[in-house]
Amino acid sequence: MYRAVLFSLMVMFLSGCAQSEDHTLHDLVETEALSFYVDTLATGLRNPWGMEFLPDGRILIAERPGNLRVWADGELQDENIRNLPEIWAHGQGGLMDVVMHPDYANNQMIYLVHGARGSNGGSTAITRGRLTGNDLSDVETIFFSQPHTEAAHHFGSRIVFDDEGYLFSTIGDRGAMNTAQDLMSHNGTVIRIYDDGSVPQDNPFVGDDDAQPEIWSYGHRNIQGMQLHPVTRELWTHEHGPKGGDEINLIHKGANYGWPLVTHGINYDGTIITPDTTAPGMIDPILHWTPSIAPCGLAFVDSDHYPGWQYNMLVGALAGQHIHRVVFQDTTVVHTEKILQGMARFRAIEQGPDGFIYVLTEHPGLFFRLIPE
């Protein structure tokens, strides 16, 4: 009894506010390196996809159907962010990720990556706007991937600002695998732009009339996890393979990651895509999963709250329904562990400014954090 009361007081102190009646501290979860409690912050979310932590303590949660929810004062708020761009909620696309500008404290700009309608179907777009209270103003779409298509899958997508203020985002192959090798298409790429959508002149394909200037790397199938390493500041991603062949990659300027010319996966009907798993001039994955776990969401841990997980990568698994902990020695994977197996489809993982790990899942739609023992 004493230990339970002490723990409850500790959680209230760490969170900075009393737990609301909706929060549920679940039983202790024991893992190889540490043990933790699951602190449920919200339930009933509809396909939550991404989250962002604002300086005023609010947390924005993007729901794929097109809502930008607000978690504040210990609970999910009834009122959503207003005046969003038109969201094309089409198949796997919709409102996906949300990040704030590095200078948000002065400009109040947030960035959304979302499905958008175009001249022939649509694709993945990036829109920014100025957030005042719950209202978005000065809304402007700064990037719209080409070509447009009616395809309902492989939109990507994540957004990351690096330390120099460049914006990186990801676009899937939109179900047309061979376009990931076509530099005239944004499909299957990581792009790099300025915060206003303009193109840095040191991008690798600037000046090439047969390439889109925003492309930073290509040959990707469908990236749904991207993050900077907390120490090296290198850009890491993971992506969906077909049936098998999910990958973790370290992203290099101008590099070709091979899809669909090389892969460890096969078609869903069992037929061979290619016999090759590596090829000259193409970057091999740091890690691949076969069978697939369907990775989504990526976080590096550098918080003192989780000493056993320092600099580990946490990967959400949709089909695998677990969190995949990946341990590195430099850039070599030396160990992995499955955590919270069978709980839900894990969609997003972030380390918050308070140092705690926050998680979004779908089916069921949950928002929770991991509180170490």
Dist. CA 248–CA 237, nearest whole Å = 6
- 264 catalytically annotated: no
What are the residues facing 42 on neighbouring strands? 367
Nearest to 317 by CA among 336, 331, 303, 333: 336
Nearby residues of 267 by Cβ (< 8 Å), 6 or more positions away = 242, 243, 273
Residue 361 dihedral angles phi and psi, to the nearest 5°: -130, 160
Dist. CA 108–CA 130, nearest whole Å = 5
Nearest to 274 by CA among 287, 263, 289: 263
Residue 369 CA neighbour count, 13 Å, CB half: 24
| Candidate list 154, 220, 240, 288, residue with the active-site label | 154
Residue 358 dihedral angles phi and psi, to the nearest 5°: -110, 145
Burial of 314 (0-12, 13-18, 19+ CB in 10 A): buried
Residues with active-site annotation: 154
